[in-house]
């Protein structure tokens, strides 16, 4: 399936629009190939694009003063990612956004997104829907960080995002879930022991 066809299916699963509107919408996106470890957003620079993943995996993360990387968001096929604070407010980024593997994305510039929203209220609705869903997911994650044990968080992650478990390195999953890689290994080994 062509990259823009995937985006088209994603769009149609959220709003009903005409063929002409579809063509206008997808024409604003540019396909970009990323290499593993390639950074597409860096602190201090304004995030000029939001990215829709066609394949591969990306993450956003911060680096603490002690050098520890803390994963803030993950994205695989059919997900969006950027430093949203930087993108929305057009101010310097605080996050890195990195390709975890070789990946293909469709990028949309801030300027083009504003043009799309101004040109058609349906496009404004589409971006509102994905923003609302992203906010709800972020809220669920924050609540789970404060109310669930590390094991419960991993089990929920494994159940809800099986694709992540297989495509994303363990140290990144551990960072995302707020635990050490060693502790995540222990949880996974216990689960394997229970199944055998």
pLDDT tens track for 80-116 = 999 999 999 999 999 999 999 999 999 999 999 999 9
pTM above 0.75, yes or no: yes
Residue 188: predicted pLDDT: 81
- Give domain 3-136's CATH superfamily: Jelly Rolls (2.60.120.10)
147: tokens are 């109310």
CA distance 174 to 151: 11
- Per-residue pLDDT, averaged over 168-175, amounts to 91
Position of tokens 């206008």? 24
What contacts 24+ positions apart, CB below 8 Å, involve 33-39? 33/102, 33/103, 33/104, 34/58, 34/99, 34/102, 34/103, 34/104, 34/105, 35/99, 35/102, 36/99, 36/100, 36/101, 36/102, 37/98, 37/99, 38/98, 38/99, 39/96, 39/97, 39/98
Q: Dump pLDDT digits (tens) for 11-54.
A: 989 999 999 999 999 999 999 999 999 999 999 999 999 999 99
Position of tokens 């399936």? 1
For the chain, give every domain's residue range.
Answer: 3-136, 148-196
CA distance 68 to 167: 22
């Amino acid at each position: 399936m062509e990259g823009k066809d995937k985006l088209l299916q994603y769009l149609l699963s959220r709003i009903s629009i005409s063929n002409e509107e579809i063509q206008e919408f997808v024409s604003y996106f540019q396909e970009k190939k990323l290499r593993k470890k390639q950074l597409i957003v860096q602190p201090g620079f304004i995030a000029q694009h939001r990215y829709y993943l066609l394949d591969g995996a990306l993450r956003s993360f911060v680096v603490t003063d002690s050098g520890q990387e803390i994963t803030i968001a993950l994205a695989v096929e059919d997900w969006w990612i950027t430093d949203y604070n930087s993108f929305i407010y057009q101010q310097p980024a605080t996050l890195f956004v990195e390709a975890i593997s070789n990946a293909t994305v469709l990028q949309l510039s801030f300027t083009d997104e504003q043009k799309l929203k101004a040109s058609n209220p349906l496009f404004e609705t589409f971006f509102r829907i994905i923003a609302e869903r992203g906010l709800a997911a972020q809220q669920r994650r924050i609540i789970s960080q404060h109310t669930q044990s590390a094991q419960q968080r991993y089990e929920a992650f494994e159940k809800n995002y099986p694709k992540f478990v297989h495509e994303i390195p363990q140290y990144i999953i551990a960072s995302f879930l707020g635990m050490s890689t060693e502790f995540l290994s222990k949880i996974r080994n216990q689960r394997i022991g229970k199944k055998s």
